[in-house]
Amino acid sequence: MATATFGAGCFWGVEEAFRRIPGVIDATSGYAGGTMDDPTYEQVCTGRTGHAEVVRVEYDPSKVAYGRLLEAFFRLHDPTTPNRQGPDVGTQYRSAIFTHDEEQAREAAEFKAALDASGAFGRPIVTEIAAAGPFWRAEEYHQRYVQKHGGASCHI
């Protein structure tokens, strides 16, 4: 099993979309990239903790490649808008890839550079790529939110 962590705006639909990929074992909503231990949703929403809303993806690399997860990540959101996804504005909604080893860091950087060079988005990609630090699981009411409450999920 391997782990990948992505920030693509509000985590609800992103979590649900990653769950649907064959080879993904689990997806968990949470917070990463900040300076405070065990932040709450309310604290993260202030934009003062430095955290991004993220989804931690546990996957079987023999069934799904990290590159496929990167492909999905870039389809799930607009990676050209700094600190914003749709109506959600703030650093907690930034586009981010938190890598768990050197291979992920290399692959993410190469994928981002190739996509940016292709002009696929018409604007420069601003996605942050950083080493994964602590992951803080979001409150239970955020987990599997789309399954529990319905609503739109992202399509990949």
- Active site members: 10
Written as one letter, the residue type at 156 is: I
**Cα→Cα distances 123→78, 91, 118, 120, 126, Å:** 10, 19, 10, 8, 9
Place of tokens 């291979």: 103
> How many other C-beta atoms can be found within 10 angstroms of the C-beta atom of residue 126?
17
Residue 26 to residue 9: CA distance in whole angstroms = 19
Residue 90 dihedral angles phi and psi, to the nearest 5°: 140, 160
H/E stretch holding 8: strand 2-8
Under a CB-based contact definition with an 8 Å cutoff, are residues 16 and 156 in contact?
A: no
Q: For the chain, give the number of residues.
A: 156
